[in-house]
Homo-oligomer: A and B are copies of this chain.
């Protein structure tokens, strides 16, 4: 606790306010009270109860390790909040390494004046998301910065999990002829956050797709499907993921536009806003590059899980120029798909 670690000590009175105060970051009694009344009860587990500088875990064999910071604006959006996102995002990054998330760390940066109710909601969301994904929040840290020096609340999570896949999963393993499978409809997270931030009054409330995808991914691996590469479709969307993997793997990728599921309301919102759904962020969607022979079986397995019930094949890896991603439209004409050059929507995650 000398450095705000959750895993450390206690009682005693704070400022008595219902917002975060600078004293909550000072390493003294006020910080102890914040940790003891809000944060430790939410994350309660034996690792934190030891009140030490870190958690000691028993690990064996290959372990995946990843981190992400979350700066989404607004903090709460239809279908989730920054806490849900911070847990699921890191759980999903580990899944993309063929690993089942087991342990997460949490770093909170709080702005002075943040309502404690917001903090309570976010840590409760983190705990629920962690329980749903089967992970434990084993170690953490809290810092407070002056009013106007952050935007409410930033969260960092780092995650650890044993690698379940025997074969390496990554762009290196992608081969010409691989099937490209998408786990469900795209674009909901990006549109949900954009609508919440800008106050767009679309006819329907579009909810974020934010969810853990670890179960269907583990099912693919455990069934022996030859999974060559996985990538979750966050910032930059399907387009950026495809171009990055194509470039890193030295292959081309041919997509079929008609096969890519986009909900009607999401599509309408994209048309109004002038966005290509291929560039819109998701938080519960991924692409799997699998051996052609396993493609049908992979889709059948994915469809058994609610989070990937809409899985479909959307394309094939080719032997063309590295990073050349094409998308065949309704009229049979191929268009080139590229990453965005700048940004579509800042602070989507």
Give the B-binding residues of A (Cβ under 8 A). Answer: 1-5, 7-10, 12, 15, 21-23, 25-32, 50-71, 89, 93-94, 96-97, 99, 103, 105-109, 138-141, 143-146, 148-151, 154, 156, 158-160, 163, 168-172, 231-237, 240-241, 243-244, 247-248, 281, 339-347, 349
A-B pairs with lowest CB-CB distance, top 5: A26-B343, A27-B235, A54-B66, A27-B236, A158-B158
Query: Among the interface residues A4, A26, A108, A234, which one has the most CB atoms of the partner chain B within 10 A?
Result: A26
> Which residues of the other chain, B, contact A63 by a CB distance below 8 angstroms?
56-59, 63
> Which residues of the other chain, B, contact A237 by a CB distance below 8 angstroms?
2, 27
Are A235 and B107 in contact (CB-based, < 8 A)? no
**Closest beta carbon of chain B to A24's beta carbon, Å:** 8
Are B244 and A10 in contact (CB-based, < 8 A)? yes
Are A5 and B93 in contact (CB-based, < 8 A)? yes
Set B25, B109, B144, B342: member contacting A28, Cβ < 8 A = B342
> Which residues of the other chain, B, contact A243 by a CB distance below 8 angstroms?
9
Are B342 and A54 in contact (CB-based, < 8 A)? no
Are B144 and A346 in contact (CB-based, < 8 A)? yes
A65 CA / B54 CA spacing, docked (Å): 5
Identify 20 residue pairs between A and B in the complex whose beta-carbon atoms are under 8 Å apart, listed by A's number: A2-B235, A2-B236, A2-B237, A28-B340, A54-B66, A54-B159, A56-B65, A56-B168, A57-B64, A67-B158, A69-B107, A70-B143, A71-B145, A105-B158, A109-B109, A145-B346, A148-B148, A150-B150, A156-B158, A158-B158
> Which residues of the other chain, B, contact A94 by a CB distance below 8 angstroms?
53-54
Further pairs besides A2-B240, A29-B342: 9, Cβ < 8 Å:
A2-B244, A27-B234, A30-B342, A59-B59, A59-B62, A105-B158, A150-B150, A150-B154, A156-B156
**Closest beta carbon of chain B to A299's beta carbon, Å:** 22
A163 CA / B244 CA spacing, docked (Å): 37
Query: Among the interface residues A69, A163, A233, which one has the most CB atoms of the partner chain B within 10 A?
Result: A69
**Closest beta carbon of chain B to A298's beta carbon, Å:** 19
Query: Among the interface residues A138, A140, A170, which one has the most CB atoms of the partner chain B within 10 A?
Result: A170
Given A141-B68, A156-B69, A236-B2, does the pair A343, B109 have CB atoms closer than 8 Å? no
> Which residues of the other chain, B, contact A69 by a CB distance below 8 angstroms?
107-109, 141, 143, 156
**Closest beta carbon of chain B to A221's beta carbon, Å:** 14
Query: Among the interface residues A9, A23, A138, A168, which one has the most CB atoms of the partner chain B within 10 A?
Result: A9
> Which residues of the other chain, B, contact A31 by a CB distance below 8 angstroms?
235
A293 CA / B253 CA spacing, docked (Å): 68
A25 closest partner in B (C-beta): B346
> Which residues of the other chain, B, contact A139 by a CB distance below 8 angstroms?
65-67
> Which residues of the other chain, B, contact A156 by a CB distance below 8 angstroms?
67, 69, 107, 156, 158
